[in-house]
Amino acid sequence: MFRFIARRLLFAVLVIVAVQVIVFAITHALGSPARLMLPATASAEQVALLDSQLGYDRPWWEQLVELLLGSIVGDFGTSYWQNVPAGGVVFSRLPATLALVGLSMALAIAVSVPLGVLAAMRRGTTWDKTIVTISLVGVSMPAFWIGYLLIILFSVQLGWLPTSGYGTPAHYVLPVITLAALPIGRLTQIVRSSMLGEVGQQYMLVGSSLGLKPVTRIYKHALKNASIPILTMTGWEISRLISGFTVLVEVVFSWPGIGQLAVQAIEHRDVPLLVASVTVVAGLIVVLNLLLDVAYSLLDPRIRTAPTARRTSKEKEPA
Partner 1 sequence: MSGNILEVRSLATSFATARGPVLAVRDVSFDIGVGEIVGLVGESGSGKTATAQSVMQLLPSHATVTGSIQFGGRDLAALDRQQLRGVRGREISMIFQDPMTSLNPVLTIGTQFLDVLRAHGTVTRAAARSRGVELLGLVGIPEPALRMQQYPHQMSGGMRQRALIALALANEPRLLIADEPTTALDVTVQAGILRLLVELRDRIGMSILLVTHDLGVVSETCDRVLVMYGGRLVEAGIVRSVLRAPRHPYTAALLSSSIPVDVARSERLVTIDSSADDLHNPFVGCAFNPPCSAEEHTHD
Partner 2 sequence: MMSALTARISRQKQPKPTWRPPGASTIGQKLAAGFLLLVVFVAIFAQQIAPHDPNGQSLARRLQPPIWEGGTLEFILGTDELGRDVLTRIMYGAQTSISIGIVVVLITMVVGTTLGIIAGYVRGRFDTVLMWICDVVLSLPGLLLSAVLVFVLGASATTVIIALSIEGWLVYCRMARGMVLTVRSTAYIDATRTIGTPPIRVLVRHVLPNIAPPIVTLATLEFARVVLAEAALSFLGFGIQPPLVSWGLMINSGGDYLTIAWWLITLPGLVLTITVLSANVVSDWLRQLTDPLAQAVSAR
- Which of partner 2, partner 1, none lies near 230, with the C-beta cut-off 5 to 8 A by kind? none
CB of 128 to partner 1, least distance (A): 14
* By the rule CB under 8 A, 302 interacts with partner 1: yes
Residue 232 DSSP label: H
Rounded distance between C-alpha atoms, residue 162 and residue 172, angstroms: 9
Contacts of partner 2 in 210-239 (CB under 8 A): 236, 239
CB of 309 to partner 1, least distance (A): 10
CB of 257 to partner 1, least distance (A): 37
User: Between residues 240 and 304, which has the closer beta carbon with respect to partner 1?
Assistant: 304
CB of 223 to partner 2, least distance (A): 21
Q: Which amino acid would we find at residue 42?
A: A
Which residues are CB-neighbours of 146 under 8 A, at least 6 positions away?
178, 181
* By the rule CB under 8 A, 220 interacts with partner 1: yes
CB of 140 to partner 2, least distance (A): 4
CB 67 within 8 A of CB 275: yes
Exactly one of 52, 53, 168, 208 binds partner 1 (CB under 8 A); that residue is 208
Rounded distance between C-alpha atoms, residue 212 and residue 97, angstroms: 44
* By the rule CB under 8 A, 207 interacts with partner 1: yes
Contact flags string 225-244 toward partner 1, x per CB under 8 A: x--x----------------
Contacts of partner 1 in 168-187 (CB under 8 A): none
Nearest to 230 by CA among 109, 318, 72: 109
Nearest to 295 by CA among 12, 5, 3, 97: 5
User: Between residues 100 and 226, which has the closer beta carbon with respect to partner 1?
Assistant: 226
CB of 235 to partner 1, least distance (A): 18
CB atoms within 10 A of CB 102: 12
CB 1 within 8 A of CB 41: no
Contacts of partner 2 in 111-130 (CB under 8 A): 123-125
123 three-class SS: coil
Nearest to 17 by CA among 282, 237, 258: 282
CB 78 within 8 A of CB 272: yes
Rounded distance between C-alpha atoms, residue 181 and residue 183, angstroms: 6
Rounded distance between C-alpha atoms, residue 16 and residue 11, angstroms: 9
Count interface residues toward partner 1 (CB under 8 A): 32
Exactly one of 38, 134, 212, 263 binds partner 1 (CB under 8 A); that residue is 212
* By the rule CB under 8 A, 137 interacts with partner 2: yes
Which residues are CB-neighbours of 96 under 8 A, at least 6 positions away?
166, 255, 256, 257, 258
CB of 206 to partner 1, least distance (A): 5
Residues in touch with partner 2 (CB under 8 A): 11, 14-15, 18-19, 22-23, 26-27, 29-30, 36, 123-125, 133, 136-137, 139-145, 148-149, 151-152, 156, 163, 236, 239-240, 243-244, 247-248, 251-252, 262-263, 266-267, 269, 274, 278, 281-282, 285-286, 289
